[in-house]
Amino acid sequence: MAYLVPIALVLGLLFMSIRILPEYERGVVFFLGRFQAVKGPGLIIVIPGIQQMVRVDLRVITMDVPSQDVISRDNVTVRVNAVLYFRVVDPEKCIIQVEDYHNATSQLAQTTLRSVLGQHELDEMLSEREKMNADIQGILDKQTDVWGIKVTNVEIKHVDLNENMVRAIARQAEAERERRAKVIAAEGEQQAAQKLFEASQIIAQNPQALQLRYLQTLNDMSTKNATTIVFPLPMDILTTFKRKD
């Protein structure tokens, strides 16, 4: 029995020392409070009381950035939320350099979202999301690099407007459609006038073309069931009468 107690203690200590880390985790090991190594995956021995291990997940983390009140450059207040994708690339830094890298990354994402979007007008927020996503990602990735974190993607999900602003945007869109319709109609009138001008020049250079057009008009009128027919009077006849006078 005297030998069983030490053996049981050794076995218990050995059992408490065994750690198994999956492929997507690493263990940051400290020896008497000092950083020793990053270990894993697989079987790891950690001596209780002397060594401590902190698990770090290396998978991509999806984080919702809470809705933020943003004042755009043209003084429009909107509520914007986003989603952030990041992962740990240096387990040692993410444990030693920052107390809680999840909370720190979330707070940094919120302030960066307000700062970047506040530099743009409302129209840019609605139409240039990809550019703003890239700007936010670049800023976050640069600032979290010292924490051993890689920001892989940032996506703005919603830009919420109040009812008055929605109605104003609808009126603006309607006015823009009316403007485009008037521009298209004016361009059509301009093209038609240009074609008529070119046709008049051709007829002026070739008087026979006017006679052919006159005969074609008479032919078209004869095929229609009309009780009244108006015959156009050629201008050369009037010219003849003026010469006789």
Task: Provide mean pLDDT across the span 204-230.
Answer: 63
Q: What is the pLDDT of residue 228?
A: 59
The single-letter code of the amino acid at 245 is D
Residue 95 above 80 pLDDT?
yes
In this predicted structure, what is the pLDDT of residue 207?
A: 65
Answer whether residue 219 shows pLDDT above 70. Answer: no
Domain ranges in the chain are 11-57, 61-161, 167-244
CATH class of 61-161: alpha beta
- Distance from C-alpha of 20 to C-alpha of 179, rounded to nearest angstrom: 69
Local structure of 189: helix, strand or coil? helix
What digits encode the pLDDT tens for the residues 12-64?
777 788 888 999 999 999 999 899 999 989 998 888 888 999 999 999 999 99
Alpha-carbon span 171 to 183, nearest angstrom: 18
3-state secondary structure at position 149: strand
Of 11-15, 68-72, 166-170, 179-183, the one with minimum mean pLDDT is 166-170
pLDDT value of residue 107: 94
Q: How many CB atoms lie within 10 A of CB 51?
A: 19
Which pLDDT does position 40 carry in this prediction? 84
**Cα 136 to Cα 157: distance, rounded to the nearest angstrom:** 13
CA–CA distances in Å: residue 29 to residues 10, 26, 56: 22, 9, 11
Residue 28: what pLDDT? 94
Residue carrying the six token digits 């005297």: 2
Please tell me whether the overall predicted TM-score, pTM, comes out greater than 0.75 for this model: no
Q: Is the pLDDT reported for residue 240 higher than 60? A: no
Residue 141: predicted pLDDT: 93
Query: By percentage, how much of the chain surpasses pLDDT 70?
Result: 76
Region at 170 (left for phi over 0; alpha for psi -120 to 50; beta for the rest): alpha
Q: Look at residue 217 in the predicted model and tell me its pLDDT.
A: 67
| Rounded CA Rg of the chain | 41
**Whether the predicted pLDDT of 166 surpasses 60:** no
